Amino acid sequence: MGNEKNIISTKISLSVGKEAKDEFYNLKDEYLSKDPKLHNKDFIEYILTLIGNDKMIHNYTKDIELISKIQGLPVARVCEEAIASYIKKIKNADKKGLTNNIKIVESDNLMNEVLKAIMLYNDNNEHLYRIFINQTSVAKFAADPEKMKSANLNPHKFAKNVIVRGLKNNYDIINEHHTKHELEVSHNIKAYAAKRFPEKNEVNNVSS
């Protein structure tokens, strides 16, 4: 722990699925239905007991108990304060566009699939028909029904920020791919000209 750097990130991942939510609320309803005297705070304490039995997050229970003693508050109240603070943090982050909500996660996953499809397309085609991966070429590939169908994907129109984020997140992989196939920034323009005016362009010099 002493040599580890503390990394502060403004990004917050929140991708709790419907199935998990339903399971949580079913558990809550089942617990509270056992006795009409039971309240939400009793359920929170019950959840803490379950957490305490999990070795991976046992330390969190100890932290909560410690805070309870420091503040002189019941454990349930500490949990309520923590939950309220977290909700506020999530809402503020969402306003600033920093939250990894389900739609963003789905868009990023689809973008990763498209980038994989382009690289596979390049692997299976001659140099003239390969694609230098940039914002424009990704958008064109994703909107092309034929190319997307060959990758078992549906044509999709991505927002600019999704493409930019995808290129940034996969920067190293894309660079390695370009190096492997000797693809340079000017490749797409040269390849287009070579295909359209074959008598004026040497196919072999497309990458030069």
Q: How do residues 37-68 score in pLDDT, each as one tens digit?
A: 888 777 777 776 665 555 434 456 677 777 78
Q: Give how many domains the chain has, as a whole number.
A: 2
Question: Mean pLDDT across the stretch 158-170?
Answer: 92
Of all residues in the chain, what percent carry a pLDDT higher than 70?
70
**Smallest Cα–Cα separation from 169: which of 133, 132, 120?**
133
Query: Residues 57, 117: one domain?
Result: no
Of residues 87 and 186, the one with the higher pLDDT is: 186
Query: Residues 137, 170: one domain?
Result: yes
Check pLDDT > 80 for residue 139.
yes
pLDDT of 101 reads: 64
Q: Which value, in Å, is the radius of gyration of the alpha carbons in the chain?
A: 26
> 2 phi and psi, to 5 degrees?
-65, -35
Query: Residues 149, 169: one domain?
Result: yes
Among 80, 100, 120, where does a domain finish? 100
Query: Residues 93, 129: one domain?
Result: no
Question: Mean pLDDT across the stretch 13-31?
Answer: 63
Has this prediction a pTM greater than 0.95? no
Q: Which helix (H) or strand (E) holds 62?
A: helix 58-71
Going by C-beta distance under 8 Å and a sequence separation of 6 or more, which residues neighbour residue 35?
Answer: none
Residue 6 lies in a domain: no
Amino acid at 1: M
pLDDT of 97 reads: 59
Query: Residues 148, 61: one domain?
Result: no
Query: Residues 158, 108: one domain?
Result: yes
Q: 12: which strand partners? A: 99
Question: Mean pLDDT across the stretch 97-118?
Answer: 82
Which tokens sit at 115? 């980038």
Query: Residues 96, 106: one domain?
Result: no
pLDDT of 52 reads: 55
**Smallest Cα–Cα separation from 101: which of 110, 88, 91?**
91
Among 49, 84, 100, where does a domain finish? 100
Per the structure, the complete domain to which residue 138 belongs is given by: 102-205
Query: Residues 168, 81: one domain?
Result: no
> Which three-class secondary structure state does DSSP give residue 208?
coil
Query: Residues 90, 112: one domain?
Result: no
pLDDT-derived band at 70 (thresholds 50, 70, 90) equals: confident
Among 56, 82, 100, where does a domain finish? 100
Query: Residues 91, 171: one domain?
Result: no
Q: 99: which strand partners? A: 12
Alpha-carbon gap, residue 137 to 167, rounded angstroms: 11
**Smallest Cα–Cα separation from 81: which of 58, 100, 64?**
64
Q: What is the DSSP letter of 100?
A: E
Check pLDDT > 90 for residue 106.
no
Return the minimum-mean-pLDDT range out of 66-70, 136-140, 191-195: 66-70
